[in-house]
Structure 1
Amino acid sequence: MSRTRVLAHARLRTAVLAALLAPLAACSSSTSPGTSDAKGTPGAADRPVTVTVTPTGDRVPAGKPVRVTAAGGSLTAVTVTDGKNRRLAGKVAADGRSWVSDRKAAPGATYAVTAATRTKGGTARTTRAAFTTAPADRVNKVDWRPGTGSTVGVAQPISLAFDHPVRNRAEVEKQLKITTSNGTEGSWGWIRDWSGRDRVDWRPRTYWKPGTKVTLNAELNGTDSGAAGGWFVRDYTSTFTIGSRQIVKVDLDSHQLTLVRDGRTVRRIPVSGGTPGGDKRSWRGTAVLMAKEGTINMNSETVGLADAYNKMVDYSMRLTWSGMYAHAAPWNARYFGNANRSSGCIGMSDANAAWFYGQVRPGDPFEMTGKDTKGVVEPGNGFGAWNLSWAEWRQKSALR
C-alpha cells in the first residue's frame, strides 16, 4: 500500500471515531457550583448542613437551655430527650436556622439530640449528638400545699416552702404556673415561713369561687436556687377543687363562733378565747384552717408557756404554726360564751367541737376580731396572707 493510501485510511478512521463520540459528549454536562442537574446529581447546594449543639461534652454545667443551630441549610425538626425519655420542648425559628428549648437542662442528666435538616438543594438528613450535665452539688426540695385531689375552702392559698434558701426568686417564680377553670386573678408572694424557711404563696385577689378547679405546675427541674440553695431536680404538680363558701367568724369580745355557709348562718357556738393581758391572748385577723389533726397532745412548753398545760385534746383544728387551734376544751366549760380563759386557742364543748369538726375543711377562713389580742396573724404564721391588702400582697412577688 502506498504511503498516500495509508494516510488517507488513517484520516478516515479518525473522522469515523469522532463522529461516533460526538453524541456521547452531547449527553453530559459539568455541574456548576451551587447547582444540580435534572437527575439530582449532588452539587454544592446538597452539601451536608453544619449542625451545632450547645452545650456539648460531658459533665457540662446545667441550668441553661439547649441550643441547636444550622449553617448551609435549615432545621426542620429537633428532638431533645433525657435518659428517662422526657422531652425538652422547643420550636424551630421561622428562618430555620435555630432551635432553643423551653426548659433548661437539668443537673445529672444525659441528653440525646436529634436534628432533622434540609440542604439548600432539598436533601433531608439527620444529625445526632449527645451531652451530659454535671450532677447537683446540693438539691433543694419543696413542701407544697394543698395536696393533689383535695377539696379545700375558699381561703386556701397555694404554698411552696423550700428546704434551702432561694436567691433566684424571679427565676423560680417564672417556673410556677397556675391554671384555674374560671380565670381567677391572683399573685405569688414571697414570705418567710414560721420555721424560718423561704416560702412562696399564691392567693386569689378575693376568696375563691366555689367549684373552681385549680392546677399548679411547678416546672422547677433544672432551675438553680442561687447562692448555696442548690438545684431543683424535679417538677411538682397538684390539682385541687374549691368547696363550698364557708366562713367562720369568731368574736372574741362576745365569745361567740359563727359558721356561715353560702351566706347563711348555720350555727352559733359559745367559745372561750385566749386569756387577756399576757402571752396567752389569741390572735386576730384572718387565719386559715390548716389541718384537722384529731386528738393530739398539747404541751405548753412547745409554745413558750412553760408548764401551763400538757394534755390530750380532742377535735384539734390547727389555725397557725405558732400553736393556735380551735378544739374541744371541756375543762373550760364555765367560760364558754362568758369569758376568755384559754391559753390562746378557741375552746368549745365536746359536743359542739365534734359537730364543728365534721363541718369545716382545710382552707376555710377564720375571721377573728377582739380588742385584747396578740396582734394580726402574720403571712408566714400559717396562711395569714389575707391580712394584707391586695396591693401589699402583689408587691411581694419577685416579678413586680
Structure 2
Amino acid sequence: MSRIRPRTPLRRRPVPSAVIAGTAVLAAALTACSGGGGADSGSAGLGGGKKQTAISVNLSGKQATAGEPVKVTLADGRLKEVRVTDSKGAELAGGISADGRSWTSTRTSAPGTSYSVAAKDTEGGSATAAFTTAAPDKVNKLTLVPGKNSTVGIAQPLSIVFDHPVKNKAEVEKHLKVTTSDKTEGSWGWMQDWSGKDRADWRPKEYWKPDTKVTLKADLNGIDSGPGGGWFVRDYTTNLTVGRNQIVKIDLDNHRLKLLRDGQQIKDIPMSAGTPGGEKASWRGRTVLMSKEGTINMRSETVGLGDAYDKMVDYSMRLTWSGMYAHAAPWNAGYFGSANKSSGCIGMSDADAKWIYDQVQVGDPFEVTGDDAKGTQALNNGYGEWNLSWSEWQAKSALR
C-alpha cells in the first residue's frame, strides 16, 4: 500500500527591505492611504497593491556626520514637501529637485543636534524619521562689534573676533552676510587681532552715509572653522544705524584738533599730542573712536613707559588698543597749541575735552596728520583699515 506523504505548507519568502547604498531608509515609507502596508525593517509597501516604495536620508543614527547638507530621496513618485527641524524648532531650508525625486537642504547639519524629518509625496502619503549628529570635539565662538541696535559714526567697521583659530576662512566668510539700506559697497578683510586671535572686519569702500541701516548675519551654525578651531554651533546677528556725519581732524604739527560736521568746521581746539622722536610720539593715520570711557586710571607701565605717570584722567576717548586716547590733560596746559609734550595721547583742557566728549560718537573717524608721529597706526591696533587703499583692503578678503 502506498503511503501518501502529508503536504508541507509553502512558506512565504519575506519581501526584502528596500536599500539604497550610503543612505538610511526611513522607518515608515510613504503610504498613499490610511491602513496601507505596515512597516518592516526599513521600508513598507503602498496600500491597494501599489508598487512598493520608500524614502531615504543620507544621515542616520545617533552619530551622524555634521557639516553636510541633508538629502532626502524618494524611491518612486514625486516629493511634495520635506521639513527638517531641530529640537528647538528651527527649520533647515531646502528645495526639491526638478524631477521631484529628492530634497536637499541649503545649509549643513550642525554638530550635536537632533533632527526630525517629515516628508510628503504628491499622492498624499507621509513619513517621518530622525537622526542626531555627533557632538563637536571643540566649539568656536565669536564676539561681534558693534552690539545690536547701535548708532555709530561714519567710519565704524563691522568686526568679528573669533575665540579659536579659523583656518577655513573662505568657507566662514561665505556665511557672513552684510545687508544695507542703500546697497553700500564693502568688503571683508582678515587679520590677527591685537589680542592674537583671528579677526574679520567689514569696511565700506568709503565712509558710511548717515542714516544707513546695516545688518550682519553670521549664519555659521554647522560650519567647521578648521583644524584647532572647532565647530560653530549657532548663528549670530547684529545691526547698526549710522549717525551724524562728523570727522575729528588732528594736526600734530600745528597742535590743533578740529571737529567737522557735514563738512563744516564747528570747533577748533588747541591741544598737545605725543612728544616726537621716540615711543611717546602719537600715531598718525585714519583711526576710529573705539569707545568713550569717561574717567579712567592711566598708568605708564601698561604701555611700556616705565613709571612716568599714574593719573586719573577725565573724558577719555580710546583710539587704539596700544593706549592712544584723546582726553583732558590740564597738567599739560602750557603746551596746548604750541608743542607736543604728552606720552602719546591727544590732550586738551577740561572744558574742551568735555565738549568733544559730548559731541563725538563711537565710530567717528579721527584723522591724524603731521610729521610729529612715530608712524602710521597698524591695521589691528584698533581699527586701522582706513589706512589701506580700497584695493589693498579687498585683497585681505579670503574670497579674493
Query: What band does the TM-score fall into relative to the shorter chain?
Result: 0.7 to 0.9
Q: Deviations over 1:77-131 (max 9, x none)?
A: 110000101111111112111111111111111000111123xxxx321121110
CA distance in 2, matches of 1:236, 1:89: 17
| 2:333 corresponds to | 333
Counterpart of 1:75, as a letter, is L
Shift of 1:272: 0.6
The structure-2 alpha-carbon separation of the partners of 1:50 and 1:257, relative to structure 1 and needing over 3 Å to count, comes to: same
The corresponding residue for 2:252 is: 252
Counterpart Cα distance in 1 of 2:83 and 2:52: 19
The answer on 1:53 being equivalent to 2:54 is no
Map Cα deviations across residues 322-353 of structure 1 (whole Å, 9 max, x no partner).
Answer: 11100001110101101001111101000001
Contact 2:252 2:340 in 1 (8 A): yes
Question: In 2, Cα distance between the equivalents of 1:241 and 1:48?
Answer: 58
DSSP 3-state at the match of 1:124: coil
The amino acid that maps onto 2:226 is: G
Matches within 5 A, 1:167-186: 167-186=167-186
Report SS of the residue matched to 1:59: coil
Aligned to 1:271: 271
- Letter paired with 1:108: G
What SS does the corresponding residue of 2:221 show, helix, strand or coil?
coil
Look up the match of 1:213: 213
Q: 1:195-216 CA deviation, whole Å, 9 max, x = no partner?
A: 1110000000000010000001
Output the CA distance in 2 between the equivalents of 1:267 and 1:378: 28
* TM-score, with structure 1 as normaliser: 0.87
Structure 1 runs of 4+ aligned residues shifted over 4 Å read 41-44
- Residue 74 of structure 1 aligns with an amino acid whose one-letter code is R
Q: Name the structure where helix makes up a greater proportion of residues.
A: 1
Rg larger for: 1
Deviation at 1:372, TM superposition (A): 2.7
* Aligned ranges 1:172-251 → 2 under 5 Å: 172-251=172-251
- 1:44-93: per-residue Cα shift (whole Å, max 9, x none)? 7x435321111111122211111111121111111000010111111111
Find out whether 1:88 has 2:92 as its counterpart: yes
Where do residues 71-86 of structure 1 align in structure 2 (5 Å cutoff)? 71-86=75-90
Given that residues 76 and 101 in structure 2 are in contact (C-alpha distance below 8 angstroms), is that contact kept between their aligned partners in structure 1?
A: no
Distance in 1 separating the partners of 2:214 and 2:337: 39
The residue type equivalent to 2:117 in the other structure is: V
Give 1:347's aligned residue.
Answer: 347
Q: Tell me if the contact between 1:49 and 1:74 (Cα under 8 Å) persists in the aligned partners.
A: no
Q: Secondary structure at the match of 2:283?
A: coil
- For residue 69 of structure 1, what is the aligned residue in structure 2? 73
State the alpha-carbon separation in 2 of the partners of residues 336 and 274 from structure 1: 12
Q: Which runs of 5+ in 2 are unaligned?
A: 1-45
Shift of 1:43: 6.7
% same residue: 64
1:139 equivalent to 2:143? Answer no
RMSD over aligned Cα, in angstroms?
Answer: 1.2
CA distance in 1, matches of 2:245, 2:369: 20
Read off the aligned partner of 1:102 and give its amino acid letter: T
Name the residue aligned to 2:369.
369
